[in-house]
Each structure stands twice: as C-alpha cells, then as structure tokens.
Amino acid sequence: MQIEQWFPVPVGICNISKECLEEVQKACFEWLKNNPLDAHWSESVETSYHKSNSFISQIGLNSLENELLNLFCDYSKSLGLQTPSLRLDSWLNRFKPKSSEPAHAHYNAFLCGCLYLTEEADSGKFMIDDPIDARCQWLENNYIGSNTLFTHRTVGYDPQEGKVLIFPPWMKHYVTQHNGLKDRISLAFNAIKC
C-alpha cells in the first residue's frame, strides 16, 4: 500500500552561530536594563512590539539580521518557494514567571520566526496546534491512542538558547505558562516582502 502525506506544516529548526548569539545576548540584556517593555492589555508577555517593529536593526544587530535573512531564504528554498526580497520586522519579548501568550498568527508576513536568548526548565513551550479543523474533529471523534506523524494534534518546543524556529505566518501559535524562576527572553521576527 502506498500512503502519501499531504498538507504538512513545516517548522524549520536551527541554531545561530555562537559568536552571533553572544553578541545578541549582550546587546539585548544591556538594552533591557535601560528600557521598559510593555504588556498589551490582552496579554501578559512584555514586548517592544507596540513601540517599534524593527528592534534588531534599531540596536545595530546587523550580523543577526543577515544570518536570519539567510535562514529564511534557506527555509523557503527547501520548501520549493520562490524567495522574494525580504526585510525583517522584529521585537523583543520578555515572559516573566507565570506569563504566557495566547494563540495568534501573523497574516501580514511571508514567514515568521523566533530566537531564544535564555533557557530554563519549564519556561513556557512554543506550541502549534494542527491547523486542519476537519482532521482535529476526526481525531477527537475517533481517539487514536498512538502518537504518530498522522495523529499529533499539538506540537511543542522548549526554549533552547540560540535556537531559531521558522514557520509559516498563517500557523496559529502560542506560548504556555512560563513556570521558570527567571525571565524568559526571546526575539520574534517576521520576514516581510520588500
């Protein structure tokens, strides 16, 4: 029997270089000492998103911006997508203990991603639910005890320092409650067509 898999949800997982990570951590942690972040009334995550959407370029992290744009190009090529000219929108996020982020998507972007600057046990997973409602309903009505590529309804990623996740912008994602003791710091970004 031949079984074909259709409608996959591709998540790119990679790491930035150690030198780049150290430069980014130093710049971001220094910036956080002198600049407050705000939480939107509907969220508990503190972010620079509402102030500016060009955080990476504003603090002069050109090597990170170039590295991320190259990763976005590699990701889109691996999916067989024609890669347009891209620019990066970016913002810094801080999850204090007990904070989380509700499900959302980034419909104005070509691709999306995040980079983790800190790592701690139980510090809020990045979650993706199966976006195909009909499949979710079928799995709900016909509970299948196995946990395979075809029966997953949710996928989660623990933050790991230096790890980058890249994903399609239409894919709803969220962050579970951060139960660590220290702040969970990450950079989020959208690759936008120029």
For 18, residues 6+ apart whose C-beta sits below 8 A from its C-beta are 162
Residue 169's alpha-carbon distances to 6, 32, 138, in angstroms, are 19, 27, 25
User: Would you give per-residue pLDDT tens digits along the chain (194 residues)?
Assistant: 887 777 778 999 999 999 999 999 999 999 999 998 988 877 889 999 988 889 999 999 999 999 999 999 999 999 999 989 999 999 999 999 999 999 999 999 999 999 999 999 999 999 998 888 888 888 878 766 777 777 778 889 999 999 999 999 999 999 999 999 999 999 999 999 99
DSSP secondary structure string for all residues of 95-109: E-TT--EEEE--TT-
CB 177 within 8 A of CB 99: yes
The model's pTM: 0.91
